[in-house]
Chains A and B, each alone.
Chain A
Amino acid sequence: MEEFLQQLINGLSLGAIYALIALGYTMIYGVLRFINFAHGDVFMIGTYIGFYVLNTAFVQSLGPGAETAVIVFLAAMVGCGLLGVIIEFLAYRPLRNRPKLTVLITAIGVSFFLEYTGQLPFVFGADPRTFPTVVEKTTVLQAGGLVIDSYQIIIFVVAIALMLGLRLLIMKTRIGTALRASSMNLKAASLMGINTNAVISFTFFVGSALAGAGAILYAMSYPKINPLMGILPGLKAFIAAVLGGIGNILGAAVGGFIIGAAETMTAGYISPTLRDAIVFAILIIILIVKPSGLFGRGGTEKV
């Protein structure tokens, strides 16, 4: 029982990070109906933004702690947000009225561009770097064999605060309603006087910023970063979004937690070598059994 609880907590904290990344996939899909395959690489860039910010003399002088954490999170979120906006503007916007497949292939191109440009010696370099300490890792709770550390608490607090904030933003604000309207019908939204290009930029900013926050949380827990590290978490978060029902924000969050838990449980109880395989198995199963995902609705429209 104790071991199960421990696995569950570990799994859910990993899942919280997947959920943050999955939100970006699902929001962008919601508005533009395509999968931004470069999203995992935006996540990777987020870890490097954190890496460089943590290595500045100023942040070094602060040392690990709350101030450092706030600075590094803000930097990664704003940095990734802007990167997302730039990618959309340069790579996807010119293809707005082209077939979706064209945009999808372009997204894969952007993904490779980020991964392989990142490996150039004068960019990040191909060698893994060690992510500096953001805050000290302490044991918060120890009950028998059950251990909860400060990183897990931070992951839950940050992830849940961001998800609630996102919900508030989308449900209660004017731009949020515009975002929902745009995701239901982009053409109708523009007929309402909504600047749909601005809404799309906003969506990319928010979605990518969430990936930036996820990046810092991820790099704190797994402090070896390299330019290809975004691929697997990116794919898993994408699967989380599909599992929850692509385009559905609640679905992405729930999907993230399920994927994280499934991965950790498989590694703990079956075999660590199967931890990636189980996630892809879930993708295959969901696509066969319920392709619209747990919370997805089939596309019906009254005519």
Chain B
Amino acid sequence: MLHVEGLKVSYGAIAALKGISFHVPKGAVVTLIGANGAGKTTTLQTISGLHKVVEGTIKFDGQEISNMPSHKIVSLGISQSPEGRLIFPGLSVKENLMMGAYLRKDKKEIRSDLDYCFSIFPRLRERLMQAGGTLSGGEQQMLAISRALMAKPHLLLLDEPSLGIAPLLVQLIFEKITEINRDLGVTMLLVEQNAHMALKVASYAYVLETGEITLEGPASELASNEDVQKAYLGM
């Protein structure tokens, strides 16, 4: 579904991605793990059209999408729950969710997708009219994921859903990610520093180190790989 080949991105003179290749098959959950500054967020933001591609290709369903404007990429069916959540603080939870459905016109289905989000995260229904900025970190993460789902994506990009939220909620969020993948069949590309959780929910994984992919394989294999255990799982 998503094919990235030889992707190079740089910030001025600094190369952030030095020609990475990976692919995400339809219906799967694939994860990119790596330390801070490895280029994980850059990868997702580039797929979403926020950074210029210096070299390489990003193909979505066979269509080249590199350097397309972000809103076009969303209209093709790629939405993102961004790093740091980026909730609209002054908009209510409901308005935040409706912004996720900004490009959609199918009112009835929007309604049922809202209900689906509430069934996954009942907390959001309780907070519906509250300003997004007043939610806790975990609630904001639920909102960010739901908001991305409201775009009815074929491919969902999840950037560090565990970042800065309580450990108990991390567990819950990852359970829900699995549930969403199972219920909706939506393909997911998950970026995480929390390799332990990421390798549990994903079927295939790539290890990103300072802009290069150094290792890849089925998630279960990577989880038992000695180098990965030492570097990312703290064993």
Contact = CB atoms under 8 A, between A and B. Distances in A.
Interface string A161-188: 0000000000000100110110011011
A193 interface: yes
B71 A190 contact: yes
A185 B50 CA distance: 13
Contacts of A143: none
A281 interface: no
A191 B147 CA distance: 10
B90 A184 contact: yes
B88 A180 contact: yes
A302 B137 contact: yes
A150 interface: no
Contacts of A130: none
A108 B232 CA distance: 52
B227 to A, nearest CB: 31
Interface of B: 48-50, 69-71, 74-75, 79-80, 82, 84, 86-91, 95, 98-100, 102-103, 133, 137, 140, 147, 151, 164
B71 A193 contact: yes
B75 A185 contact: no
Main secondary structure of the interface of A (DSSP, over half): helix
Interface of A: 174, 177-178, 180-181, 184-185, 187-197, 301-303
B91 A180 contact: yes
Nearest to B49: A190
Given A192-B74, A192-B102, A302-B133, A187 B91 contact: no
23 contacts: A177-B91, A178-B99, A180-B88, A180-B90, A184-B91, A187-B50, A188-B87, A189-B99, A190-B49, A191-B48, A191-B70, A191-B80, A192-B99, A192-B102, A192-B147, A193-B102, A195-B69, A195-B71, A301-B133, A302-B137, A302-B140, A303-B84, A303-B164
Contacts of A197: 69
Given A192-B74, A194-B99, 12 more contacts: A177-B98, A177-B99, A180-B91, A184-B88, A184-B91, A189-B88, A189-B99, A191-B50, A191-B74, A192-B151, A193-B102, A302-B133
